[in-house]
Structure 1
Amino acid sequence: MAQLYDGSMDTEKRPENAHATEYVQLAAAIVDISDHIRRASHQRTGYGPLPNGMLDILRAIEAHPGITVADLATRLDRQFSNVSTQLKDLVARGLVTRNRDASDRRYVSLTATAEAQRIKALFEGSWAGEIAAAAAHLTPAESEHLRRSAGILDRLSAQLTSR
């Protein structure tokens, strides 16, 4: 979840005062865009409802095949029991498989199924379509600037998720 700058951060983590308003504006825009494209993806794809929390779990499992439930909960900063409950639903839907280690039956790794990968691609295509449709209303220079910002936003995301 995006954390907006509220003035309570440690001084060394606080954005420069001259930029604080822009960071708040950027964070709010990212949250608004994310909310819109996720809602629209359920309408455009006809697949749903798939709560955001479950979609986050699927994306994390696909990014880290073989991850354990405990590691997944830690990575997503969620309670183990909440992740476990959502995983039961994802397994029941045929989107995740639990794989028990032959030498240690207590060790369970998680993998996304082919159906989960298909649905993820469907959603990502829908998200891209929403952004492309909105970007069509920007000036050509703004649209180009937006496309070029993808790499920067990826690096920003990596910084936020590596903490």
Structure 2
Amino acid sequence: MESVEASTTPAQAMDHRALAVALLDISSDVRRKSHNDTGVRPLSNGVLEILRVIESHPGITVAEVASRLGRQFSNVSVQLRELVAGNLVTRTRDAADKRYVALHPTAESQRIKALLEGAWAEALASASSRLLPAEREQIAASLPALQRLAAVLAEPE
């Protein structure tokens, strides 16, 4: 089967390494530069990833979170205890099958999510104001493709 990369012309080829590095750098810098003014206690990247999966998929199980993130069940379970203790996630046992535990974000989690996403947006707005108008337009035009790429990457393997 021919890969998508093999069917592109040199002018269309994407530097996936540069894209990956840029996305990771942006993510790291946005989090670092925006967190201090939120009043939210810092969450590790691993804990934040778990919380974002639960917020995107209320009712998900610990095993499903671990699978989506490609992590060990036991590691997710340990980090999940931090989220439960911080009143950011609730665990609900299924009445019919006590082994099944559904995870749900709390109202506090939703409040923090809104605060953080607002702070992230402000950090990006501040940085992008220093770009050329054409660069801001390029970024805006690429948003649907980046959102689609994020959705494809988030799919369970």
TM over 0.5: yes
Distance (whole Å) between structure 1 residues aligned to residue 50 and residue 9 of structure 2: 35
Distance (whole Å) between structure 2 residues aligned to residue 139 and residue 31 of structure 1: 22
Number of the residue aligned with 2:121 = 128
Pairing partner for 1:62 from 55, 66, 77: 55
Say whether 1:85 aligns with 2:78: yes
Number of the residue aligned with 1:72 = 65
Number of the residue aligned with 2:100 = 107
Number of the residue aligned with 2:143 = 150
CA-based RMSD: 1.9
Say whether 1:50 aligns with 2:35: no
Distance (whole Å) between structure 1 residues aligned to residue 35 and residue 72 of structure 2: 26
Q: Runs in 1 of length 4+ with deviation above 2 angstroms? A: 11-20
| SS of residue paired to 2:104 | strand
Cα distance per residue 1:6-44 (max 9 Å; x no partner): xxxxx8476669435x22222111110011011123213
**For this pair of structures, how many residues does the alignment match?**
153
TM-score, length basis structure 2: 0.89
Amino acid at match of 2:17: V
Gaps of 5+ in 2: none
Contact 2:34 2:122 in 1 (8 A): no
Distance (whole Å) between structure 1 residues aligned to residue 28 and residue 4 of structure 2: 26
Distance (whole Å) between structure 2 residues aligned to residue 93 and residue 136 of structure 1: 36
| Per-residue deviation, 1:123 | 0.8
